[in-house]
Amino acid sequence: MKIIRLQERSDLIDLAIDVFWEQWGSEDNFKLYEDCIRQSLKNEEELPLFYILLNEDEIIGTYALLRNDMNSRQDLCPWLACLYVHPDHRGRKIGKQLLSHAIEEASRIGYDDLHLATDLEGYYEKYGWKQEGEAFGISGESIKVYIKAT
Q: pLDDT by residue (tens digit) across 132-149?
A: 999 999 889 999 999 999
What separation in angstroms does the CA of 9 have from each of 2, 99, 102? 12, 21, 18
Q: Hey, what domains does the chain have and what are their CATH numbers?
A: 2-149 (3.40.630.30)
Q: What is the structure's pLDDT at 92? A: 93
Q: What is the structure's pLDDT at 102? A: 98
Q: What's the mean pLDDT in 22-26?
A: 92
Q: How many CB atoms lie within 10 A of CB 146?
A: 21
Q: What is the structure's pLDDT at 50? A: 97
Q: What is the structure's pLDDT at 45? A: 85
Interhelix angle for 30-40 vs 13-24, to 10°?
A: 140
Three-class DSSP category at 98: helix
Q: What is the structure's pLDDT at 135? A: 96
In tens, the pLDDT along 79-116 reads: 999 999 999 999 999 999 999 999 999 999 999 999 99
How far apart are the C-alpha atoms of 19 and 25, rounded to whole Å? 10
- Indicate the pLDDT class of residue 150, thresholds 50, 70 and 90: very high
